[in-house]
Amino acid sequence: MIDPLEFLEHAVRTPSHDDVGAMRALLCETLREAGIEPTVDDAGNVIATREASGDATDGPHVVLNTHLDTVSPHVPAEHDGAILHGRGACDAKGPLAAMLAAFSSIEPDRGRLTLAVTPDEETRSIGAAALVPSLDLDPERGDWVIVGEPTGLDVCNAAKGRFEGRITIAGERAHAAEPHTGQNAITMAAPVIDALSGFDDRPEGLAAHPDLGAPTLTPTVVDGGDATNQVPAECAIVLDRRSVPPETAMGFETALNEYLTQHAPAPDAVSFALTERETPFLEAFETSDEDRVVSVLQEASGGAVRPFTAATEASYFAREAPTVVFGPGDLADESGPVAHADREYVRLPDVKRAATILGDALAERLRETDV
């Protein structure tokens, strides 16, 4: 079995915030040293598979997924007793180390086990978007996906989605000495922002989800004007949407435009469009807490079953098969942010325990007598 702490030590010392090449090479080298030959697809995903022999390959397909990349800046590795600090320690090299150890320890009695590690979860998710269709996931066959993120060893069976878009307000340029001769797009923005607070309160709006709570709609950037002595002809408001089921990205875009038509001043001058991107937005997902991927992993971990508080690539996998998010580390603790922060860390005993938990859950799913 691959030693998760030895791998993690090398991984956190390997920068992967600007380029994942070195981190990908480390992962592939580690797999090869364990006698497992990985492949790298055209999207940069690292994929390795272990499967039963003969007719036993007809069993379930379990996928372990996490990501190679980290946010900037790189934070050097530093030990504090049983705690490892550094960029990626919990997001998501700690979960990757645990998955790698569990993956290398399992020889399936039936079905298949795939380790699939993506290169750009923190940015565009091009790797995951290309990967998911190639995995041949079938919920009727009993397939599962476990996505590695810092959950404090809880089993997270749901998460909000994240959409991003821009409200554009069209005005008319004029000299600032004669503002009444134009139409100030920035002035028009204030009542538009005020109106946004009522979007989720409308009668046809989304109800709060029993586990995820209410959706949120947050203006995050306002941009307008070209010159200090000119009435601006355009103002843009960037919105962050945290969605709950069953809202889709396109459904949100349509609903918000309809709402702005009714509530914005000069509605013909106001429009909303989702940000253009190469991959689908990360939509909200939920896997029933009665699904076996939840119950088996929860029994192995003893942790809580709860939602994950950030959007992840689990959204893509959950469209194809029951999916949960699990791993060592925390997004935040009692002192403040952990993941993405300068103080990012993971507890080494939790990494080892996560590897054991995953190994137990995988053995349960892929053993010959499992039904």
Catalytic residue among 121, 286, 313, 344: 121
> Residue 204: phi, psi to the nearest 5?
-90, 10
- Cα(242)–Cα(220) distance, rounded to whole angstroms? 13
Nearest to 185 by CA among 242, 266, 106, 239: 266
CB 112, CB 50: distance < 8 Å:
yes
> Which residue is associated with the tokens 């039963």?
52
- As a whole number of angstroms, the longest Cα–Cα distance in the chain is 83
- Say if residue 210 is exposed, middle or buried (CB neighbours under 10 Å; 0-12, 13-18, 19+): exposed
Does the annotation mark 299 as catalytic?
Answer: no
- Cα(127)–Cα(356) distance, rounded to whole angstroms? 28
Residue 14 CA neighbour count, 13 Å, CB half: 20
CA distances from 346 to 87, 289, 336, 352 (A): 10, 27, 14, 11
Q: What angle do CA 206, 293, 355 make, to 5 degrees?
A: 120
Does the annotation mark 121 as catalytic?
Answer: yes
The secondary structure of residue 70, as a DSSP letter, is -
- Cα(94)–Cα(5) distance, rounded to whole angstroms? 9
- Cα(24)–Cα(40) distance, rounded to whole angstroms? 9
What are the structure tokens assigned to 163, written together? Answer: 């959409």
What are the structure tokens assigned to 363, written together? Answer: 């053995």
By annotation, the residues acting in catalysis are 69, 121
